[in-house]
Amino acid sequence: MMRTAIVSLFPELVDAFLSAGVLGRAVRDGRLECARINPRDYAQDARQTVDDRPFGGGAGMVMMVEPLGEAVRQARSTVPDGAPVVFLSPQGERFDHRIADELAALDGFVLVAARYEGVDERFVATHVDRELSIGDYVISGGELAALVVLDAVARLLPGVVGNPNSITSESHVDGLLDYPQYTRPETHTAGRTPEVLLSGDHGAVARWRRRQALGRTWLRRPDLLLDRELGEDDRALLASYMRDTAKAG
Ligand SMILES: C[S@@+](CC[C@H](N)C(=O)[O-])C[C@H]1O[C@@H](n2cnc3c(N)ncnc32)[C@H](O)[C@@H]1O
């Protein structure tokens, strides 16, 4: 069982995702726990204030250290000792499959989602172990980012995705993009299903898929191949894909 917590001013946004689909099943099956902690519950005044104007002026509001810090202390008490506190921020390290794998190996972690213009820097200095970004753009709040991280991690936990093979062949898992998929009908005005997929020859299907995965990665994300040492078989498959692409082009 992985024990996590999300600190957020909008726990209802998180609830919606935790009750449906793969995340919902992980929670129902007891493989994942996710406490929701609202910093507003730890505000120190009757109006439950969690934000204030930035010192030095400027646009928007900033989340205050204390309610957020207290919410994180509370969140820590719901996860295993030593579990890291991860702050979602466009200034963080870019989240990817490697980091999802690292987090999936832990017993738990706390995700902190901010709102407004962000948080008082002293909160980051005193309560945060790691900052993660979901990409080079700004969204209005950290909830979506926290859920992106939680969903990607939950998929990697044993038993969460019904068929474990569906995880191992997915894009980015072994550093390649996934191969194209087809389902019924075999023939459609949009085209025919590649013959090999209907052949029943598992070896031929596996080779075709590997060749497609390598070829697609080369076409769409050549950067993923840069630091990668391809084996002899992969090199031959990719070379034949490149030759066919050159002929077709
Ligand atoms: C409107 S943003 C504030 C951005 C902040 N002023 C900055 O430029 O770094 C509010 C919150 O949404 C979350 N957020 C926004 N973009 C994000 C991203 N790309 N990755 C992760 N979290 C993000 C963070 O929790 C952030 O504090």
Q: How confident is the model over 71-114, as pLDDT tens digits?
A: 999 999 999 999 999 999 999 999 999 999 999 999 999 999 99
Lookup: tokens for 111: 């995700």
pLDDT over threshold 80, residue 217: yes
Cβ-in-10-Å burial (0-12, 13-18, 19+) of 191 comes to: exposed
Q: So what's the pLDDT on residue 175?
A: 92
Specify the pLDDT at position 169. Answer: 79
Cα 35 to Cα 205: distance, rounded to the nearest angstrom: 43
CA dihedral 85, 88, 92, 94 (to 10 degrees): 110
CA of 60 to the centre of ligand 1 (A): 13
Tell me the C-alpha distance between 199 and 205, whole Å.
Answer: 8
Distance, in Å, from the CA atom of 105 to the CA atom of 107, rounded to the nearest integer, reads 7
Residue 156 has pLDDT above 80, yes or no: yes
Best of 93, 96, 127, 139 to mutate for ligand 1, by most ligand atoms within 8 A of CB?
Answer: 139
pLDDT band at 164; cut points 50, 70, 90:
confident
> Which domains does the chain show, CATH number per domain?
2-154 (3.40.1280.10), 170-248 (1.10.1270.20)
CA of 78 to the centre of ligand 1 (A): 25
Ligand 1 interacting residues, C-beta cut-off 6 A: 88-91, 113-115, 117-118, 133-135, 137-142, 145
Give the per-residue pLDDT at 11: 97
Whether 71 and 41 have beta carbons less than 8 Å apart is answered as yes
Q: What is the CA radius of gyration of the chain?
A: 23
Give, for 51, the enclosing helix (H) or strand (E): strand 51-52
**Tell me, what's the pLDDT at 82?**
97
**pLDDT, mean of residues 66-74:** 98
- Beta-sheet pairing, 51-52 with 108-112: unpaired
Backbone conformation region of residue 135, classed left if phi is above 0, alpha if psi is from -120 to 50, else beta = left
Edge-first strand order for the sheet with 2-7 is 32-37, 2-7, 108-112, 85-94, 130-133
CA 78 to chain centroid, in Å, comes to: 22
pLDDT tens per residue, range 132-143: 999 999 999 999
The percent of residues in the chain predicted with pLDDT above 90, rounded, is 94
Confidence of residue 162 (pLDDT cuts 50, 70, 90): confident
Name the DSSP letter for residue 228. Answer: -
Distance 191 CA to ligand 1 centre (A): 43
Task: Measure 147 CA to ligand 1 centroid, in angstroms.
Answer: 14
Quote the mean pLDDT of the chain: 96
Strands 108-112 and 2-7: parallel
Dig out the tokens for 219 from the structure: 């076409």
